[in-house]
Amino acid sequence: MNQRFTLLAAGILLATSASAAVAASAAAPPLLPLPQSIAPSKGSFRLTGQSVIVVPPGDAGARAAAERLAGLLAVNRGISPAITETQRNGAIRFVRTDGITKEGYRLDVTPRGATITASDDAGLFYGAVTLWQLATSGSDAIPATRIADAPRFRWRGLMLDSARHFQSPEFIKRFIDWMAVHKLNTFHWHLVDDQGWRIEIKKYPKLVEAGAWRTPASAPGAPTLPRTGGYYTQEQIREIVAYAAARHITIVPEIEMPGHALAPIRAYAGLGTGVIPPPGIESDWGVFPYLFNIEDGTFTFLQDVLTEVMALFPSEYIHVGGDEAVKDQWKASPRIQAQMKALGIRDEHALQSWFIQRMEKFLSSKGRRLIGWDEILEGGLAPNATVMSWTGVEGAVAAAKAGHDAVLSPQPVLYLNHRQGGTSAEPPGRGEQVTLRRVYDFDPAPDTLTDDQQRHILGLQANLWTEHMRTEERVAYSAFPRASAVAELGWSAADKRDFDGFVDRLVPQLARLKPMGLEASSSAFAPFATLGPAGGDKATITLANQIGAEIRYTTDGSAPDANSPVYARPLSLVMPTRVRAASFRHGMALPGNLDQTVDAMTIRRRDDTQLKLCTETIALQLEDDAPAEGKRAAFLTDIMNPCWVYEAAPLDGVNEIAVDVGQIPFNFQIGKDIEKIVFRPPATPEGEIEVRIDSCEGERIAVLPLAPAASNPALTTLKAKIAPRSGSHDLCFTYTAKGPSPMWAIDAVQLIPRP
């Protein structure tokens, strides 16, 4: 990337803003994350523009929480209660007391007003967030209730990668706002990597001069794309850190070492092992071989950088990366091998441990704690280091058993750069699906640990790696609502986990966030369709959604509503028919919808997400490199084996096949694994798409030369006649080539029936 609560209510009351309301079913308010205990009472408190907020005299923390509550109410309700230190009737009161758990609070709502009680500033703020949620549940009358609440884990985090793609300071602040109203408290900021250096370091200005900008990769012969990038000035960072602190979010900066060091080595070549990076590779993805050397001057550089970083970030922890440090350049360097011998270091893994321990001593001398990815376990862990376990939970378990603190952040389940669904609506990202349900079902308390060892699990964190998130909109879409599930895992008691209840509380939470600028993904809610022929002029359409919610549909072109037919089984339709569908819960439509034309062509069409990948060694949904501006295609492919199968293709009456293809650069650093990518030899210079029947080694039934597509940087439709066939058959699509670049990808396959 710990306790119990009781829900004292017979059911769930769900109501949201007019745009996304969910009807009431009983008495528990739609709060997310779910509090430890909720005790409903009689009556209600009416919160209006004339209400006031009372804070203790001279209590700056209480006033800050009150101001934040007033600001949130202004965004969602259009009211902004006055703040005073004078006691009033019918008021919202902030009260400071001893004895409440850190970050915990108590919220009492009666017909006379609301009282938020806590021992620390964070607790007052989180109580204010809960009251805001109650006040934005569809009515200005807040049901009387008593809530006692505190978090399960102390580390409840999200990581944002600003190195691969830069996000504006304004977006970072919005992201922090979204985190804060989920009671997430740690923002891990990935500021440097091979592809970019995003933080101004006064002593070393070339870091941003050489490392903050790059030209994106494009396929051979394609137009050069505009330069992209940016960096954060120290003034901007101070402002963002203060903004986060006001919302009780700690920002943990990450400065990668000893690997992922291409950007600083490009700026200052003396930091590396003497291998000069070729120009342009900073636009590649994957794992680069460039490591820092171990000269005293390099450690001076790193300490200088961290000194400036620590002056900007007051966090207890400083993240040093430590992951994916390919040791080849250390092994090949006579200088480093001689230094290892002189130091008595047995191998390169032990050298990395020595490197990290040296940095840990420096950070410890400055009153900070080192945290790194679980590779810092290799060769022995520094005495006071904390492990962030990403390759699974094993690193966290090993650290906890050894008496070290750990944060759970395992891939793929907490890697939010994975696709959320299986349709073409998904933006580019990792090919394996990580659904909302899959995130919610993750258990952040490994059962192999004793109670004492469990105390070393600080919490959990989900990560947003942005190789394929070119825009801020994609970052937001990829983060939420899965980050909402992470928030509940980090805050709420494990024994009350209930996905259906979570969904009921999630829908109004997303409605609250829309006025705050969040356009979240609807992948978990939206219906998706599978089409197929049913003989003659009929077709079948099968509908589903991820969460098993009720689906209502229409076939007359109108938008579905609560009175539309309920989908119960596959539909048999006369073609052509327009099918529109939406998911419903408690009689109200959920976000997302389906609008599908069913005709003789669409039932014989499969886009890349509907084709089956032959293998999934490194499955990615990759964006086309053209056009420079506007919408681009995205291709689901395995970069190690570009091969697709149209399963059970209906070939009756089909005499032609059309394939929409695009070319993209092979910009991946995969080391010697590139030798594993093998193609059939091409018959023409540009190569060909080959179509084989029944298996990928079966009879070749069509060849589509790629020459017409070679000069087109966007999509090209290739066509070929095929001999008549009967029945349904698997069709395998591959292409011939001399090597991996350019990489060809299929956007869609269309079977064309005889006129």
Rounded to an integer, what distance in angstroms lies between the CA atom of residue 53 and that of residue 69?
9
Cα 578 from Cα 37, distance rounded (Å)? 47
Instruction: Give dist(CA 381, CA 374) in Å, integer.
Output: 10
For residue 248, the cross-strand partners are: none
Note whether 105 and 131 are same-domain residues.
yes
Final residue before a domain boundary, out of 547, 568, 599? 599
Phi-psi region of 727 (alpha: psi -120 to 50; beta: other; left: phi over 0): left
The answer to whether residues 540 and 62 touch, using CB atoms and an 8 Å cutoff, is no
pLDDT at 279: 92
CB 374 within 8 A of CB 395: yes
Q: Give residue-wise pLDDT tens across range 683-693.
A: 999 999 999 99
Q: What's the pLDDT at 591?
A: 95
Q: Is residue 329 part of a domain?
A: no
Q: Is residue 114 in a domain? A: yes
If asked whether residues 273 and 396 sit together in one domain, one would say yes
pLDDT for 89: 78
Q: Dig out the tokens for 244 from the structure.
A: 């986060």
Q: How far is residue 323's CA from residue 287's CA, in Å, rounded to a whole number? A: 10
- Among residues 67, 239, 308, 324, which one is catalytic? 324
> Which of 257, 512, 290 is closest to 373 using CA atoms?
257
Looking at the fold, whether 400 and 491 belong to one and the same domain comes out as: yes
Distance CA 241, CA 233 (A): 12
Question: CATH number for the domain including 411?
Answer: 3.20.20.80
Pull the structure tokens for residue 23.
């009807």
State how far the Cα of 99 lies from the Cα of 686, in Å rounded to an integer.
73
Is 648 within a domain?
yes
> What confidence score (pLDDT) does residue 554 get?
98
Concerning whether 467 is annotated as a catalytic residue, the answer is no
Q: What is the DSSP string of 17-47?
A: -GGG-----SSB---SSPPSEEEEEEEEEE-
Same domain, yes or no: 534 and 494? no
Q: Which of 476, 507, 538 is the last residue of a domain?
A: 507
> Is residue 416 a part of any domain in this protein?
yes
Q: Could you tell me if residue 673 is inside a domain?
A: yes
What is d(CA 238, CA 607) in angstroms, rounded to the nearest whole number? 46
Instruction: Report the C-alpha gap between 536 and 43 in whole angstroms.
Output: 63
Contact 562, 580 (CB under 8 A): no
- CA distances to 92, 589, 664 from 46, in Å: 11, 28, 58
CB contact set of 594 (below 8 Å; sequence gap of 6+): 526, 527, 528, 529, 543, 579, 580, 581, 582
Low-confidence ranges of the chain (pLDDT < 70): 1-28
Q: Is the domain of 375 the same as that of 453?
A: yes
Residue 546 and residue 462 share a domain? no
What's the CA gap between 613 and 746, in Å, rounded? 11
Q: Are residues 372 and 488 in the same domain?
A: yes
Residue 107 and residue 132 in one domain: yes
Nearest to 121 by CA among 53, 67, 44, 178: 67
Residue whose C-alpha is closest to residue 33's, from 483, 705, 384:
483
Clarify whether residues 533 and 668 are in a common domain: no
> Would you state the pLDDT for residue 60?
98
Residues 159 and 192 in one domain: yes
Res 755: pLDDT: 85
Assigned domain for 24 exists: no
- What is the distance in angstroms between the CA of the first residue and the CA of the last residue of the chain? 57
Query: What is the residue-wise DSSP string for 34-85?
Result: PPSEEEEEEEEEE--TT-EEE--TT-HHHHHHHHHHHHHHHHHTS---EEES
* Domain end residue (candidates: 149, 180, 214): 149
Answer whether residue 728 is part of any domain. Answer: yes
pLDDT confidence of residue 12: 25
Q: What is the pLDDT of residues 186-233, one digit of tens each?
A: 999 999 999 999 999 999 999 999 999 999 999 987 899 999 999 999
C-alpha–C-alpha distance, residues 282 and 285, integer Å: 8
* Range list of H helices, 366-496: 394-401, 436-440, 451-454, 472-479, 482-491
CATH at residue 661: 2.60.120.260
Instruction: Give the domain range for residue 577.
Output: 528-599
Q: Residues 393, 461: one domain?
A: yes
Instruction: Report the number of distinct structural domains present in the chain.
Output: 4
User: How far apart (Å, rounded) are the C-alpha atoms in residues 52 and 45?
Assistant: 13
On whether both 641 and 737 belong to a single domain, the answer is yes
Neighbour count for residue 191 (Cβ, 10 Å): 23
**The domain that contains 94 carries what CATH number?**
3.30.379.10
- 236 within a domain of the structure (yes/no): yes
